[in-house]
Copies of this chain bind each other. A is one copy, B any other.
């Protein structure tokens, strides 16, 4: 049984002082504020938050960071490199890159990642001898990096409403929804791995196939994630092909609901917002990627008001700094509306932590019985210095950076201490993996 004592901790939506956190196995057995540090307790300075959830990741996009802005960087160049990397990874290299990326996330305070995984098959599109070898590579990578993984095994069946899979896309496809389900069903959970599901998009999955994905998610009680309305072109293609918005298609197919998370929801109509909110569908915002890809700014506060639980993801990993994602939910909406004050800092902290964890199927929070996953943020860095108990929550959201994470605990055990990963030299691992990707690209 490990015990921690936090100077400040975010408990039940407020910052409390002198909080003792007792762990039993991988869960919290007691959380008590206004306590003296027990003699055996490990001290955590700064502000302790529940573990950060990175609810939307494409690990392999880390190989695109700072490499898609040549000239000034158009969308075509980005997409070309994305497919080139997607076409170059074998299971070993995919694993190696993912270890490094998940370890980078750990340093940034992420204790659980939702990997939207569709690099299923061989470079030529044929299944590997082990048809889940790529998923296993990710699971093994997350285990080595020490973070929980929700493997959102993604159904991807066509290149467009009226187009077959082409080139590297052939790796993504299982052919039929049943073949997808047969493969995805073979994956098994363990303490730090949840097998969830995903529909890539209304473009890549016909409406007729969606109930198959939904059924597997329901059967498992596992999350279902789906990209929707990231860019206007996607909306018009969908309207043209189906007469419905992407959200409308998902609603008709019966896949919305509290177990489902729509990713982006940038270009949604008022009816879409109502459909997502009234069904209790979660929404994952990825603001730094939405900036990088010129997607635009979605109606996050309207979605929250309508009833959607918000969470955040670093998606393409242009940067991995979930504090930047959380504040961008508010700040980008300010840019779009010319008004301040859409989201309380406490709501953004929930999106960053407990809500994101819930969308990934993990029960995390600083309370008895929850998983003992939490992070400490330095409140005496150049960015956060001067924070008090009263301003600590706002400082975490609006001032902190990934580099202010000092300690990360997963399942009661320290994963990051003093800003260093317990077992991995993260920069060295990243440079090794990225050099290997460049070599594979030729």
Instruction: From the candidates B232, B344, B398, name the one contacting A71 in the complex (CB within 8 A).
Output: B344
The interface-forming segment of A25-33, A174-182, A292-300 is A292-300
Complex Cα distance, B401 from A384, in Å, reads 15
Given contacts A335-B294, A335-B335, A341-B72, contact A385 B427 (CB under 8 A): yes
Contact A340 B73, beta carbon cutoff 8 Å: yes
Is A430 in contact with chain B by the CB < 8 A criterion? yes
Which of A319, A331, A345, A435 has the most chain B CB within a 10 Å cutoff? A331
Contact B380 A72, beta carbon cutoff 8 Å: no
Complex Cα distance, B231 from A107, in Å, reads 38
Chain B nearest CB, measured from A230 CB (Å): 11
Chain B nearest CB, measured from A281 CB (Å): 23
Contact B426 A335, beta carbon cutoff 8 Å: no
Instruction: From the candidates B65, B295, B428, name the one contacting A399 in the complex (CB within 8 A).
Output: B65
**8 A Cβ contacts from A319-375 to B:** 319-321, 324, 330-332, 334-345
Contact A394 B320, beta carbon cutoff 8 Å: no
Is A434 in contact with chain B by the CB < 8 A criterion? yes
Chain B residues with CB under 8 A of A80: none
Which of A65, A290, A335, A402 has the most chain B CB within a 10 Å cutoff? A335
Is A67 in contact with chain B by the CB < 8 A criterion? yes
Chain B residues with CB under 8 A of A71: 341, 344
Chain B nearest CB, measured from A160 CB (Å): 20
Size of the chain A interface, CB-CB below 8 angstroms? 71
Is A139 in contact with chain B by the CB < 8 A criterion? no
Nearest chain B residue, comparing its CB with the CB of A324: B324
Instruction: From the candidates B63, B292, B384, name the one contacting A334 in the complex (CB within 8 A).
Output: B292
Chain B nearest CB, measured from A354 CB (Å): 19
Is A269 in contact with chain B by the CB < 8 A criterion? no
Chain B nearest CB, measured from A57 CB (Å): 15
Contact B74 A391, beta carbon cutoff 8 Å: no
Is A229 in contact with chain B by the CB < 8 A criterion? no
Is A52 in contact with chain B by the CB < 8 A criterion? no
Complex Cα distance, B338 from A231, in Å, reads 8
5 contacts between A and B (CB under 8 A): A73-B341, A294-B340, A381-B427, A385-B434, A386-B434
Question: Which 8 A-B pairs give the minimum distances between C-beta atoms?
Answer: A386-B434, A72-B341, A294-B334, A385-B430, A291-B331, A403-B403, A385-B427, A66-B395
**Chain A residues in the interface with B (C-beta under 8 A):** 63, 65-67, 69-75, 78, 104, 107-108, 231-232, 288, 290-297, 318-321, 324, 330-332, 334-345, 380-387, 391, 394-395, 397-399, 401-403, 426-428, 430-431, 433-435
Starting from the known contacts A324-B324, A386-B435, A401-B401, 6 additional A-B residue pairs (CB-CB under 8 Å) come to: A66-B394, A72-B344, A294-B339, A318-B399, A382-B402, A386-B430
